[in-house]
Amino acid sequence: MAQSRKTAPVVKNNTAPKSVMSSVLQDTGRVLPSFFYQAHLHGLILFILAILLYANTLNHDFVLDDGIVITENKLVQQGIKGVPGILSKDTFFGFVQAEGREQVVAGGRYRPLSLILFAVLHQLVGNTAWVFHLLTVLLFAVTCVVMYHTVRLLLAGRESFFLLLFPFATALLFVVHPIHTEVVANIKSCDEILALLFGLVALCAAIKAVDTGWVHWSVWAGLAFLAACLSKENATTFVVVIPLAVWWFRKKSDLPEKISNTIDSGYRNSVIAIFGAFLLFLCIRCAILGWSFGAAPPELLNNPYLKLVNNTWIPFTFSEKLATIFYSLGQYIYLLIFPHPLTHDYYPNHVALTTWSHPMAILSLLVHIGLALYAILGRYQRDTARFGILFYLITLSIVSNIAFPIGTHLGERFVFIPSLGFCMIVAAGVVYASKKGTQLTLALSILGIITVLYATKTTLRNPVWASNERLFLTDVKTSANSAKANNAAAGVLLNQALKEQNTPKKQSLFQQCMVHADKAIAVYPDFSDAYAIRARARYFLNQYDASIADYRNAIRLAADRPEHKKNLAMALRDAGQFYGEQKNDLLMANQYLNESWQLFDKDPETAWLLGVVSLMQQNYPKAINWYSKALELSPENPTYLFDLGTACINAGDQVRGTSLQQQALKINPKLLEARQ
């Protein structure tokens, strides 16, 4: 008796619930190659394949948002000591490092589990990028194996041709799909992997609870689901997926009464555990972030549904927003079927304002309605293809921008969990195409071709994620109309230019930087970072007036960024020197230099240049004052000493002046020669 309670109920062929597999093969007599009967071998192959596909990411650097959650996150950088802060703060708090500013996206984010994992790993190995990448790849590989066994478990008790082929085909397609490169190659997206992994574990435990009636499986289901939610909020959709899956694959009709009662008990207990975990997560999250999920911010890069009208940002109309959303949802389907080209950036205006006059928006709406109706109206057939559709739509709903704003139109990482539904649909199609023995070879060949093509694309896409430099300069070609992508490319080119020693090449890089910054500003005229990057490029090209104008715009749009004010001060200083030396315009030179000093009064060179202007204007007391300030900030500078001496001599203090000049010459005997 004890043994019978621990195992899933075995259903003989003559009592199997036909409706569960109504649209798939029930030909138990079909003979497949022995490979398809070896579940453990399948798991091993999937694990090894996942590692091999992403092995070329192990030597990658930290890229994109890795800084937010690892290298520039002060809580993660504290290691284990930072765990209490991670548990009690918004996910972005450790990066922003300021109370009240961490909720840069609507409603905030609470995803402590991945950050805790990163903090522990940092405690052990520091910021060793390859170890973090290895962790990500291993988590992905484990998730794919768990996925395979979860799908098998859903179909347990039905030894059919379908059972042997469908789980492996589903997991195989998931392993090789190129749309997952962002998640696996970008360490930050461990939150996506953990959310799916724990979601699948919760589903497995819930099915076990139903099959055995054991309460402890329900408890494990609840704990795993709580871990999934603490990994990323996307996992909350499993609160619907898990009960649906149990209902879908464990129909009671045609089953013996004892087994039917077991299903009732297990279903009830698992549903209670899942909903309890969901409510607990909501309470924890809201206790830390507040009970308001927030409205979309009035800032384009965190709210793409804004348009500029008469120099004012206003929201899209409801019709415009809905059309743009469905256009974006259509892009997901396109990328799942044909994953090219891929990019990390789908911000405005890579996806632009769309109206219902756009055929793709209408087509997407019709496709999604059609899929939903097909699955819902045929729910009592309970075939895997329809379940795959519902899984896709339910898990996609939370990142669709319909219910909650997510800060961007779409992203490849957002379809990581929903893509399992897509893989189920394709796998079901492969099995259905194998209905006749003569078609088996053709169906497996098609599956093989898709696998090879997807795997090749994945392998070729991975190296793009090697560094920010390669990622930004590659993807800006795809996301050519994106303000964010152009700004990122401009930043990379600016850094390249600053390191370049060859003068013509250096200037060329500055010019390329400005082209991308111009594009970013054209798309988003309030982009403070783009103004700041263009200002620096113009500064190094000696375009001082234009640089100053850009810095003023950057400060106007982001007054809380002290680095902008300091950089503006440097641009004003060098502009003052340029006007004084090259144009002999002492009035303009004095104006720029004084403004520079007001912004940053710790720069000795600015004080010295103000002394030079005062000396040229024969205002010797003022020159002495400025030279003295320069010396206070840099006491051993021989130039400042010598020029102060000159000002003193001109002011009539010959003794002091001569003494100061002699002190300067002792420090640098070649000073006079260098100045001639």
What's the confidence (pLDDT) of residue 121? 97
Each residue of 270-284: pLDDT tens digit? 999 999 999 999 999
Rounded CA-CA distance 159/21 in Å is: 11
Contact 609, 622 (CB under 8 A): no
What's the confidence (pLDDT) of residue 5? 37
The closest of 579, 638, 578, 653 to 604, measured between CA atoms, is 638
What's the confidence (pLDDT) of residue 576? 97
SS3 assignment, position 309: strand
How far from 133 is each of 48, 119, 238, 460, 649, CA to CA, in Å? 16, 14, 27, 17, 67
What's the confidence (pLDDT) of residue 263? 62
Residue keyed to tokens 């919760």: 202
pTM, full prediction: 0.89
Q: Which long-range contacts (CB under 8 A, 24 or more apart) does 360-369 make?
A: 360/327, 360/330, 361/323, 361/324, 361/326, 361/327, 361/330, 363/330, 364/326, 364/327, 364/329, 364/330, 364/333, 365/326, 367/330, 367/333, 368/326, 368/329, 368/393
SS3 assignment, position 634: coil
Q: What percent of the chain has pLDDT over 70?
A: 89
Contact 308, 108 (CB under 8 A): no
Burial 130-160 (b: 16+ CB within 10 A, else e): eebbbbbbebbbebbbbbbbbbbbbbbbbeb
**CATH top-level class of 602-676:** mainly alpha
What's the N-to-C CA distance of the chain in angstroms? 104
Mean pLDDT by 10 residues, the chain (676 residues): 38 35 39 78 97 98 95 96 95 76 65 97 97 98 97 78 86 98 97 98 95 92 98 97 93 51 76 96 92 74 93 95 98 98 96 96 98 95 94 97 90 98 95 73 90 98 98 98 98 97 96 98 96 97 97 94 94 96 94 96 96 95 96 94 95 94 92 74
Q: Omega of the bond prior to 341 within 30 degrees of 0, cis?
A: yes
What's the confidence (pLDDT) of residue 98? 55
Rounded CA-CA distance 575/592 in Å is: 7
What's the confidence (pLDDT) of residue 388? 98
Helices (H), 177-214: 181-185, 190-212
What's the confidence (pLDDT) of residue 676? 62
Structure tokens given for 263: 């299903």
161-176 helix and 39-54 helix, angle to the nearest 10 degrees: 10
State the Cα angle at 385 between 381 and 388, rounded to 5°. Answer: 115
How far from 217 is each of 267, 353, 490, CA to CA, in Å? 11, 48, 53
Contact 511, 496 (CB under 8 A): no
| Domains of the chain, residue spans | 192-292, 306-436, 602-676
Each residue of 359-395: pLDDT tens digit? 999 999 999 999 999 999 999 888 999 999 999 999 9
